[in-house]
Every structure is written in C-alpha cells, then in structure tokens.
Amino acid sequence: MDQFEKAADLLKHAKYAVCLTGAGISTESGIPDFRSDRGYYNTFIPEDALSVGVLESDPQRFYKEGYTILKDLEGKKPNPGHRALAEMQKGGYLHEIITQNIDDLHQQAGAKDVLQVHGDASTARCERCDYRCDFDEFDRHVEEGDIPPTCPKCGHEMRTNVVLFGDAMPPAFDRAVRVAEKADVMLVVGSSLQVMPVAYLPRMAEHLIIVNQGATPYDHTADVIFKGTASDVLVELEKRLSE
Ligand code: NAD
C-alpha cells in the first residue's frame, strides 16, 4: 500500500475527519508563510510586528511592518490545493476545515463553514461601536495616513479582524477544539505546528496525516507523512478518494 492509498483509506473509513491548514497551503498562491526560506521571518518577527502591544503602543510601526501581511493578500487566488480540499469536503471525506489562515482562499475555492481560528483579513471593525467594513474601506484610511483608521460612525479607532499575537482566541477556536476532540482522523496541511494554541489540536485526533515540506513536532506520531508540495499531494489524494 503506498502513502496515498494509506491516507485515502484512513479518510474513507473515518467517522469524523477534520482538516487543519496553515500558511503553507497558500504559498503556491503567492502568499509567503512565516517560517520557510522566503517566509516573513526574514523581514520581521511576526510575534512582535503583528502584536496587540505594537498596534497599541506604536501604530505607525504596526502599519509599516505587520500590516504588510494584510496588504500582500490583495488579489490572491486559490490554488489547486484549496480546490482539492473543497472537493474532499463536498465528497463527504472531510467533515470540517479549520484554518489558521486569514486569506479567505478556502472559501473562495468553495469550502463551506471554514473555522478561521486566527480571524479574517478581509474585514475590520470599530472597537467601540462595532461598525464593520471591508478591507478596501479600511485600507483607504491607512493609505490616506489616517493611522490608526478612524471609525466613520463614532470617531474611535478601527482595527483588523485578524487575531493578533496577544489577542484572545475567537469563538471559532472553541468550536475547533470541539471538532478536534471528535476527530478520528486529522489531515494537517502546510503548518509548522509551532503557533500555540492551535498546535495542540493535532494531539486530540486518533490518526494524523501530515502534508508539509518542513518538519513538524508531530512527524514521529503521524500515520502518514507527505513531504511534497501541498497542491500536488492534495490533488492526487482527492483523485484517489474519488476513484
Ligand atoms: P509556518 O510558516 O509556521 O509554517 C508553514 C509550513 O508550511 C512550513 O513548515 C513549510 O515548510 C510548509 N510549506 C510551505 N509551503 C508549502 C507547500 N507549498 N507545500 C507544503 N508545505 C509547505 O505557518 P503556520 O504554521 O500556518 O503558522 C504561521 C501563522 O501565520 C499562522 O497563524 C498563519 O495563519 C499565519 N499566516 C497566514 C498566512 C495566510 O493567511 N496565507 C500567511 C502567513 C502567515
């Protein structure tokens, strides 16, 4: 039995299979991850530049450094890996998709009810009156030098709906924990599994399938490991499932 057969067999016989994705699934859409050779760590330390501490104490720095991650998402499109996962969900092989990504590419590829445990870059909110707007409106303020952006309704500061380092985890994370507890199979794609608390989730599943070019702390416990490119692996896996 080759690795694809083994993984397809686990997914076909799973009672409740869940997928967890990270930045590595979107590198083929032209969005850098954090920890690869061309990742954001080469430019800045995300834990610092993308933190609530910097947003509040030095907004000019936040919008010069961490904010570039949000700008880099503009115009990016899903790749075959996102589409293969959406197909697996449609086929009933994945019951839930949990993502650490803030890029909305799973949804653009047709995935439903995605649990976005690190929030969403496509929207922003006022912290006082809860006025909401899309990224384009928010970004117009930033481009015009209105930093931090002012709420058009009440004049308070607005901020991104991305979960920054130092923020509380959103309700989607509680749902992700419940889903992971139920999972007998978890397919992890494109995550170094270094960012807590999400990196605890794979521990809850009975069986693990990992698709990741780099090493993860769970490699030794995984039932199947693919060290290839996410889209190549997922397209082939989806093909095997639908055969
Ligand atoms: P990470 O950078 O720590 O790990 C990404 C992993 O993916 C690496 O181990 C790398 O080897 C692997 N990888 C990269 N390209 C791949 C490919 N094409 N195929 C297979 N594997 C590939 O990212 P993380 O674990 O997701 O944690 C970083 C945090 O940064 C997360 O919270 C994430 O949401 C956020 N982030 C999100 C985006 C996005 O929304 N696209 C982009 C950058 C960072």
Q: Which atom of ligand 1 is nearest to the CA of 35?
A: 2
Residue whose CA lies nearest to ligand 1 atom number 8: 192
Please choose from 20, 26, 29, 34 the residue to mutate so as to test ligand 1's pocket, defined by most ligand atoms within 8 A of CB. Answer: 34
Q: What is the 3-state secondary structure (H, E, C) of 94-127?
A: CCEEEECCCCCHHHHCCCCCCEECCEEEEEEEEC
Residues with CB under 6 A from ligand 1: 22-24, 26-28, 31, 33-36, 39, 100-103, 118, 190-192, 194-195, 212-214, 229-230
Report the C-alpha gap between 76 and 234 in whole angstroms. 19
The reported pLDDT for the residue numbered 42 is: 85
Residues of the chain with pLDDT under 70: 1
Q: Which atom of ligand 1 is nearest to the CA of 99?
A: 34
In three-state secondary structure terms, 176 is helix
Catalytic residues: 118
Give me ligand 1 centre to Cα 192, in Å.
7
DSSP code for 71: H
Spatial contact of 185 and 222, defined as CB atoms under 8 Å apart: no
Strand locations in the chain, DSSP E? 17-21, 96-99, 115-116, 119-126, 132-134, 158-162, 185-189, 207-211, 224-226
Q: Which atom of ligand 1 is nearest to the CA of 191?
A: 25
The pTM of this model reads 0.96
Give me ligand 1 centre to Cα 150, in Å.
31
Give me ligand 1 centre to Cα 190, in Å.
5
Give me ligand 1 centre to Cα 14, in Å.
26
Residue whose CA lies nearest to ligand 1 atom number 26: 22
pLDDT digits (tens, 9 = 90+) for 84-130: 999 999 999 999 999 999 999 999 999 999 999 999 999 999 999 98
Task: Find tokens 């809860």 and name the residue.
Answer: 130
β-strands 96-99, 119-126 pairing: unpaired
Residues in the chain: 243
Report the C-alpha gap between 165 and 149 in whole angstroms. 20
Residue 52: its H or E element: helix 52-57
